[in-house]
Structure 1
Amino acid sequence: MKLHQSKVKNVNQFTGYDASGVKVNDERFEGSVLVLPNAVHSWRPKSFADLQADDFAALLEFDPELVLLGTGRQIQFPHPQLFAALSSKRIGLDTMDTGALCRTFNVLTAEDRRVLALVLHE
């Protein structure tokens, strides 16, 4: 699905997504990615079943106020022990399907929020 780009400048915005990848500022990324307002990185887990506590603990270095986890077409909720490092620092984790993640990230970055998006693909 293609998303309409907002007028936000100098900030990453999702411009599309499908079952195998996402577009950030019209650049395509496949597989699991970590998207920050100012950077895009590959992310280690290849699937939801591959998630480990260390994957979430490593996110603390980015100092987010909120982490969005996109789990593909269907929402899958990780066990709270996996994201305990975030919870202990009062960093929220919101799990949603990929489309909702893209739309939510775009709104939050337009509001200049310290949000981090984690995109998993089936």
Structure 2
Amino acid sequence: MAGMIIREAHFPGRAPVDAYGDGGFRFADMSHRGSILCLPSGIYGWQPADAQALQPSDFDKLFAEAGAVEILLVGMGKELRRLPEALRAALKAAGISADPMSTGAAVRTYNVLLAEDRAVAAAFIAVD
């Protein structure tokens, strides 16, 4: 009997986020429970180790695509929190401007920038 294959959650394309809340997101006629990372290469399930203390390693996929991203929107949950210094420094070194905000504001801003075909990426922490 073959073992179960667990694949990383990934939507291979750019899509606006249609809804958020209840611990997840809806986009491209699909839903995802948990946080997501929206990159030029697609939308990925994303689980930072500690949403309150994001680290550069939480953004390895983003850094791999840094040349295609100018702006990173970070949906920090229900409340705005400052990005940790180490993460801000890593983003600056990669030439990426980061803008932390509440997840709701980040989703709305992401959808506008995506519609304008801007070089935008987003990291959204799920909210209930």
- TM-score, normalised to structure 2, is 0.76
| Residue 57 to residue 46, structure 1, CA distance change in 2 (3 Å) | closer
Please give the per-residue CA displacement for 1:43-78, whole angstroms capped at 9, x wherever unaligned: 230541352222235412122111110011111112
Q: Deviation of residue 121 (structure 1)? A: 2.7
Does residue 45 of structure 2 align to residue 42 of structure 1? Answer: yes
Q: Which residue is 1:29 aligned to?
A: 32
Q: Name the SS for the 2:52 alignment partner.
A: helix
Please give the per-residue CA displacement for 1:13-44, whole angstroms capped at 9, x wherever unaligned: 01011141111123211212101355111123
Q: Which residue is 1:74 aligned to?
A: 79
Which has the higher Rg, Structure 1 or Structure 2?
2
Work out which of the residue numbers 88, 100, 104 in structure 1 matches 2:105: 100
Q: Which runs of 4+ in 1 moved over 6 A?
A: none
Structure 2's unaligned 5+ residue stretches are 1-12
| Backbone CA RMSD of aligned residues | 2.0
Does residue 55 of structure 2 align to residue 52 of structure 1? Answer: yes
| Equivalent pairs, count | 113
- TM-score, normalised to structure 1, is 0.80
Contact 1:47 1:120 (8 Å CA) reproduced: no
